[in-house]
Amino acid sequence: MAGFYIKQKDWNTVINYAKASCKVHQNAEVGGMMVMQKDKDGDYILKDPVILKQEVTGSTCEMDKEALALFYSKAHRKHKKKGIVRFVWWHSHGTMNAFWSSTDDKTILSNESDDFTVSLVVNVKSEYKLRIQYFQPIVCAAEDEELIVINGKTAHIPQNILKEVEEKCTKKQYHSTWRANKKGKVKDMLETQEQMDFNYGYNYGGYTSYNRETYSPDGEDGKVAYQTLITYMDGINSQYCAGEIKYDSWKRAVEGTNRQLITRKCDWKLEVLKEKDLDKIIYMVHPDEFVTRVHKLLGEKQ
């Protein structure tokens, strides 16, 4: 079976982009593209990682569509003489674990190919996951493969990479949606989410908007989908990790959302942890671990 390889200098470039984004934009993610081609032994070589003009947050990175189209065109012309050119989407999770978030899943599955695609997620500690997503003959469960780094020298973040991140990456600015009103009551979290956070696209989950099949606060039963809550926790936890919100804001948001879930008789609630307990696990756990079932199913004991 073919292996996946990357030269040390290219690997350093990816990790240094991740570190530079954390340094320049307070632990923001960053994303980019690279080329993948087969060598004479039939193995895949990942090379020439770049970043493009993009908007970043502590949990998302959205590349400019025009810059992406230009990259495809230039990269194909540059590498086509060496064989079939494939493209690899890569992005960082800052100081968090390297894992496939719900945003990543949607992004990968929405970019189908005639056979398979390859995606890479990293963090500043050089941890990674390399995902092979098969689409033909049918859409199959993704597989994580080993990426072998061809040894070379490591290096500190070069000044040119820091400068490039400053020039191409813009930190998304938005207002907190869980402020208390004048009477001290927390606003309707889920309504505000729908109007602001969930409509950002690539902010809390990568969805341009939530339709009635996914998120329906005003629908027939008024319930909120499990995946929607995971996406919400992914966003708010990333903000906390990035230092964009303090613990009190994190707790107020989660408690306010839980009150709305109770009102709508939802089957789920969000776990509210003490600050010291949250700090122990937030960099290591998947956001779905904060979502638990609260209402009994038919036939279950209370």
Where are the extended beta strands (E) located within the chain?
4-7, 31-38, 44-51, 54-56, 61-63, 86-92, 116-122, 128-134, 143-145, 147-150, 169-171, 268-270, 291-293
Which one, of 161, 139, 116, lies nearest residue 15 by Cα? 161
* pLDDT tens-digit readout, 106-126: 889 888 888 899 999 999 999
Query: Average pLDDT for residues 121-132, to the nearest whole number?
Result: 93
- In 90-225, which residue ranges form alpha helices assigned H by DSSP? 102-109, 159-168, 189-195
Name the residue with higher pLDDT: 38 or 283.
Answer: 38
**What integer is the mean pLDDT of 227-248?**
80
Q: What angle do CA 141, 52, 98 make, to 5 degrees?
A: 40
The residue to which tokens 């707790």 are assigned: 251
pLDDT for position 292:
85
CATH topology of domain 4-171: Cytidine Deaminase; domain 2 (3.40.140)
User: What span, in angstroms and rounded, lies between the C-alpha atoms of 106 and 99?
Assistant: 14
Tokens, residue 164: 């490039």
* Rounded average pLDDT over 208-236: 55
Domain ranges across the chain: 4-171, 189-293
What H or E segment, with its residue span, contains residue 237? helix 226-241
Q: pLDDT-derived band of residue 70, with 50, 70 and 90 as boundaries?
A: very high
Share of the chain above pLDDT 90, in %: 39
Provide the pLDDT confidence category of residue 143 given band limits of 50, 70 and 90: confident
Instruction: Name the pTM for this structure.
Output: 0.62
Q: pLDDT grade, residue 238 (50/70/90)? A: confident
pLDDT at 207: 26
Using DSSP, state whether 224 is helix, strand or coil: strand
d(CA 159, CA 286): 33
